[in-house]
Amino acid sequence: MNAPLIFLPGWCLGRGPLQAAVDAVHGQILDIPGYRNAPLISDFSSAVDDLAAQLPNGSILCGWSLGAQIAIAIAARHPEKVGKLVLVAGTTSFIQRDGWPHAMPSEMLTEFATGVAADIEAMLPRFVGGFNRGDARSKAVTRELLELADPRPSTATLLTGLNWLRDVDLQSEARHIKAPTLLIHGGADPLMPVGAAEALAALIPQARLEVFDHCAHAPFISRPDDFLARLLAFVNESTV
């Protein structure tokens, strides 16, 4: 594997939950805007361009959840930057839209954002526990994610991410992704339904979908050995 393998974390939890998987494959983590020392960028397109500028050409880009949505945009808008694409619990639209039923109702996200603005520490265990419903190891995975989570970013950063999840729809852009793409998705993911992964895989020209049964939103925690095996097999495949 000569190309760098770079991971984009998801909303709120930061690097911590991904760190063991990243270390196991000798990868790197690129913080999304507002996390750790990365300045907050409120505009989604500007954030995508900023992250793309930090990637070497031909990178293997792996995004989880919100990070997967950003990775889709980078691969579509900056194709020279992405040699291979890995989307973990990915979707083109986090909320339901015309032609995209595989998501939560917008009202549910609005209610959640209101709770985050009021008290993120109270909302976070409910959020993480909720997206692990249906996982065969739901309680253990929830506990591990909360223990591994980074210190919380600013409320402005959290609300910016939720605004992106409310506003961004990448259905048309996904069709233009040129990179070979692997989608890894939990078959029991209540946050990003498996229907979203199936529809996304159908949009991307060179995509394949791996569904982990009895697994929810964090397959790298719930099924770490399977996750690493699938990831490394894809990364090491020849594209010739």
Give the domain range for residue 69. 5-235
145 within some domain:
yes
Whether the predicted pLDDT of 239 surpasses 90: no
Q: Where would I find the beta strands (DSSP E) of 9-150?
A: 28-29, 59-64, 82-88
Q: What is the pLDDT of residues 168-210, one digit of tens each?
A: 999 999 999 999 999 999 999 999 999 999 999 999 999 999 9
CB-CB contact of 1 with 236 (8 Å): yes
Q: What is the DSSP letter of 16?
A: G
How many other CB atoms sit within 10 Å of the CB of residue 2?
6
Average pLDDT, the chain: 96
Residues linked to residue 62 through DSSP beta bridges, in sequence order: 7, 86
Per-residue tokens: 133 = 């419903």
pLDDT for the residue 2: 79
Is residue 121, in this structure, part of any structural domain at all? yes
CA separation (Å) from 231 to 30, 84, 104, 109, 147? Answer: 18, 11, 28, 31, 24
- Of 100, 101, 60, 113, whose CA–CA distance to 84 is shortest? 60
Q: List Cβ neighbours of 71 (8 Å cut-off, separation of 6 or more).
A: 8, 61, 62, 63, 82, 85, 86, 87, 90
Residue 154 lies in a domain: yes
Q: Tell me the C-alpha to C-alpha distance, in Å, between residue 134 and each of 58, 63, 187, 222.
A: 36, 22, 9, 11
Integer angstrom CA distances of residue 55 from 59, 99, 236: 7, 32, 19
Enclosing H/E stretch for 209? strand 207-212
Looking at residue 240, its pLDDT comes to 56
The answer to whether position 240 is within a domain reads no
Residue 150 lies in a domain: yes
Give 238's pLDDT tier (boundaries 50, 70, 90). Answer: confident
Q: Band the pLDDT of 86: cuts 50, 70, 90.
A: very high
CATH number of 219's domain: 3.40.50.1820
Q: How many domains does the chain have?
A: 1
Two tokens, residue 91: 């979707």
Tokens 């900023």 identify what position?
Answer: 50
pLDDT band at 26 (very low <50, low <70, confident <90, very high): very high
- Where in the sequence numbering do the catalytic residues fall? 65, 189, 217
DSSP letter at 181?
E
Burial of 24: CB neighbours in 10 Å, binned 0-12, 13-18, 19+: middle
Is 66 among the domain residues?
A: yes
